Amino acid sequence: MRLLRKLLTVALGLLVVGSTAQAQFGGFNRPSILGPNINPNPLVGAAVVAQAARQAAPALLGNPGLLGGNPGMLGNPGLLGASPYALSTAGGYNPYLGAAGLGGASPYGLSTTGMSPYGAGGYGGYGGYASAPIYGEYGGTLYGLGHFTEAAGKYHQSIQKARMDRETSRQMALDTMRRRIELEEWINKRRPGPQQQRDAALAMDLESARKEAPTGDVNTGKALNTLLGSIQKSPQLNAGPNVPLDEDVVKHVNLAGGDTSANVAILKNLSRLTWPEALLDPNYEDIRKRLMANLEDAVKTLRAGESLPATTLKDIRTDFRKLNDRFNDADVSTPSSDIEARRFLGHLRQAVRALDNPNVVNYFNNTWTPKGKTVAELVSQMTKEGLTFAPAAPGDQASYRALYQAMRQFEAGLELARK
């Protein structure tokens, strides 16, 4: 009975405190089963209960017999039934926490079951703060350490991948180099070598000489030397046809000691040498007279079987260079005159070059003079002396054309006999 009285006293005290809080929090009155002075506002009620709980003795707050742990006045069916101010969040016990009860469903309930119009998310509608992770003092440190470890791992993975890509690139470059070398070797195996190219060029020249060679190839001796090379490959020249040569034709044929760029043909008849009109200009008179005098002395010396003095040879080279340079710097009146003068200077250059040959005396002692009444005899002499055809001198073109036709006929007959 004493305990019951004490409980009643506490309950009445709570009701008095709630009535006092009504005035403090500005609540509103409405009829209530507990009396006209009890504010049914759940917010005010919660504040009243919290204040009453703080004012209650610690022993009462920790006693399960008073606060919901023992069937009695607060929160459990007992003497006074279900308390409207119970702290339970279950909908069946507190009518102000969003569930049907004695006072109906409260729109201000603290229930987290979704009955409250404010929902369980709180202020989540303004950006979802309720779902943001919250870390404590150690949790934030571990979270940052985890991110650092993850970033470090990705960094090392990127570095390793870059190294692997670089190595792959190097291997691809080496593979490309190897393939290029193999391609070059493959091309070189199928590309004609120097000898094959030379043979191909000779074959083309021979084909041209056997048909109708250009006039230029005949006058320079190229076509004659091509036919000469083909004839010399035959072991027996007498197997070919008998093609006679006119003595006057042979007289105007110029031979060279294996060097077709050297030709003394222009020096054979210096007394009848005709200078082109462009070189008869007074600007060249001093050089022309001195050069002609030195050339005449050189020919006399060589025909006597003697060697040329070094001073004479030097003066000839110097005068020719001066004459050629002065002509290149001068203005020639007509193109035809320019062509004629340059052709003459070309023959003169070949003669000066022939004078540098130690065997130049053979041009004037009949050793390198063409001999033969037939093509076979002429080819035999040239083969024995190692001679070739030199370019035709001015006035010798007709003789070269006649010799070309005769050699062409002989080479064709000899080729037919070889087959």
Domain ranges for the chain? 2-87, 142-191, 212-418
Q: Report the candidate in 307, 309, 311, 294 with the shortest Cα–Cα distance to residue 348.
A: 294
Q: Which residues contact 283 (CB under 8 A, 6 or more apart)?
A: 326, 330
User: Given this model, what pLDDT does residue 378 score?
Assistant: 94
Can you tell me the distance from the alpha carbon of 18 to that of 25, in angstroms, rounded to the nearest whole number? 10
Grade residue 270 by pLDDT with cuts at 50, 70 and 90.
confident
Model pTM?
0.51
- Taking residues 78-107, what's their average pLDDT? 46
Grade residue 227 by pLDDT with cuts at 50, 70 and 90.
very high
Token pair belonging to 142: 């571990």
Q: State yes or no: pLDDT of 399 exceeds 90.
A: yes
Of the chain, the end-to-end C-alpha distance in Å amounts to: 155
Can you tell me the distance from the alpha carbon of 411 to that of 248, in angstroms, rounded to the nearest whole number? 22
Grade residue 5 by pLDDT with cuts at 50, 70 and 90.
low
Q: At what angle do helices 397-418 and 375-385 cross, to 10 degrees?
A: 90
- The highest-confidence range among 189-203, 215-229, 254-268, 359-373, by mean pLDDT, is 215-229
pLDDT in tens, 125-179: 444 444 445 556 677 788 888 888 899 889 999 999 999 999 999 999 999 999 9
Can you tell me the distance from the alpha carbon of 288 to that of 322, in angstroms, rounded to the nearest whole number? 10
Q: Which residues contact 25 (CB under 8 A, 6 or more apart)?
A: 39, 41, 43, 44, 47
In the Cβ-directed half-sphere of 256, how many Cα atoms lie within 13 Å? Answer: 25
Q: Please give the mean pLDDT across all residues of the chain.
A: 74
3-class secondary-structure state, position 388: strand
Q: State yes or no: pLDDT of 286 exceeds 80.
A: yes
Can you tell me the distance from the alpha carbon of 111 to that of 90, in angstroms, rounded to the nearest whole number? 8
Can you tell me the distance from the alpha carbon of 340 to that of 302, in angstroms, rounded to the nearest whole number? 29
Q: Which residues contact 367 (CB under 8 A, 6 or more apart)?
A: 361, 385
Grade residue 358 by pLDDT with cuts at 50, 70 and 90.
confident
- Phi, psi for 256 (deg, rounded to 5): -140, 150
